[in-house]
Amino acid sequence: MRPDVVTFWRGPLDPLRQLCLRSQVAAGHKVTVYSFGPLPGLPDGVGHAEAGAILPYSFSERLRPPQPDGSWRDWTTLQFSDFFRMRLMAKPAGPNPARLWLDADVLLLKPVEIDPARPYFAWERPRQLGNSVLYLPPDDPIVTAFENLIKQNELTPDWLSLRHRLTFTLRRIRGGSNRLSDIRVAIFGPAALTALARRANELHHALPKRSFYAVHAEPKLFFERSDFSALTSDPGIIGLHISPKGRGGERPIPGSLHAWAAEKFGR
């Protein structure tokens, strides 16, 4: 079945994210962006919903205290979204029971079809899954593990690797932060998804890296002039997680994959 697409965003939408959202609509998906408060710049056809209905704003303070002016610190947005996507998996809504999480910088080249009874994710790199493209059934053990974690006062998962456990223990002994969220920006992200998928014996569901992460680690393949025909003609590539690394506001360079996408999914 073709799932609805959902994501979370905080702050203004740059031109790249607007482009990617348009590509998701063009692929035939119902697309909804969750945020706290209004979100200017949403492309035509993209819906908006209140994030607090899924995960309250106050949850962010369990990750790290806000700035004096109330704004979120450094990693808060990324880690909040790691929990938010799992909470979306646990709370199906509307007539379509399947909701697929796509990061706002995932450019879809074709529709995504899933089996609602099976996980949907892909390898981001060797031995690590990506969570930029994610669907899990509501009763999946990975969803249950995150739901149990959210109920804890201290967000310390039971799936931590030995290396992260040692790092956390040493920090506490030395008088450092006692928040696990300070150890590593992606502590609740791809590494957690991979560990839990392994524990649930679900790694065999993972799609090949090229299905969504062909340019993920090399944004120059998207933003700079190149021969990208192998990417756009590969039937195994469903979409491209771009990971712009600060380049989301750049004007497309003629002859780049960025320029091709802008023409294909233009305003």
**Which helix (DSSP H) or strand (DSSP E) does residue 124 occupy?**
strand 120-125
The pLDDT assigned to 267 comes to 65
User: Once rounded to an integer, what is the mean pLDDT over residues 223-248?
Assistant: 94
Rounded (5°) CA angle 217-149-96: 70
Is residue 212 within 8 A of residue 131, CB to CB? The reply is no
Is residue 98 within 8 A of residue 4, CB to CB? The reply is yes
Read off φ and ψ for residue 211, nearest 5 degrees: -60, -35
The pLDDT assigned to 76 comes to 87
Residue ranges of alpha helices (H) inside 107-161 are 141-150
- Parallel/antiparallel/unpaired status of strands 120-125 and 128-135: antiparallel
The pLDDT assigned to 172 comes to 67
State whether CATH 2.40.128 applies to domain 4-264: no
Read off φ and ψ for residue 235, nearest 5 degrees: -65, -15
Which tens digits make up the pLDDT trace of 119-166? 999 999 999 999 999 999 999 999 999 999 999 888 888 887 777 777
The pLDDT assigned to 207 comes to 98
- Parallel/antiparallel/unpaired status of strands 31-35 and 239-241: unpaired
Q: CA 19 → CA 15, 165, 263, distances in Å?
A: 6, 40, 10
- Per residue, the 3-state secondary structure of 55-69, as one string, reads CCHHHHHHHCCCCCC
